[in-house]
Amino acid sequence: MTDRVFLDTNIFVYAVDCAPIQISKRDRARELIHEHIETETGVISIQVLQEFYVASTKRIKVPLSSDEALEFIHYVSALDTVTPSLDYVTAAIGLHQKHGFGTISNMAGKA
């Protein structure tokens, strides 16, 4: 069994960032996204999609249009999307308190 991997917002933003300084990050991000779609091991959250939309349409040097961002979101929707419940969030906080892990990492690890 292959471990599932939580993909954070930055990976998606790097994948669409056309700034010359980001070329290596962009290429690697695209590889990771493709790999995790193909192997069905990638996990994202609704929050990641929301953050991606804002960052990709407003915060990168060459912003995407709303339609381009939406098209990319449809593409990555092939990844498993988790919507944490209150129990999920409190369990992640409990793991953070017990082990010192970041709560997002714990939530992704439970996915």
> Cα separation of 84 and 93, whole Å?
12
DSSP conformational letter for 6? E
Tokens standing for residue 24: 């290596």
pTM of the model: 0.80
Q: In 1-111, which ranges are continuous DSSP H helix?
A: 9-16, 23-38, 46-54, 66-76, 86-99, 103-110
> Cα separation of 104 and 31, whole Å?
23
Q: With contact defined as beta carbons under 8 Å apart, do 34 and 27 qualify?
A: no
pLDDT tens, per residue, the chain with 111 residues:
578 999 999 999 999 999 999 999 999 999 999 999 999 999 999 999 999 999 999 999 999 999 999 999 999 999 999 888 898 888 888 888 898 876 555 455 554
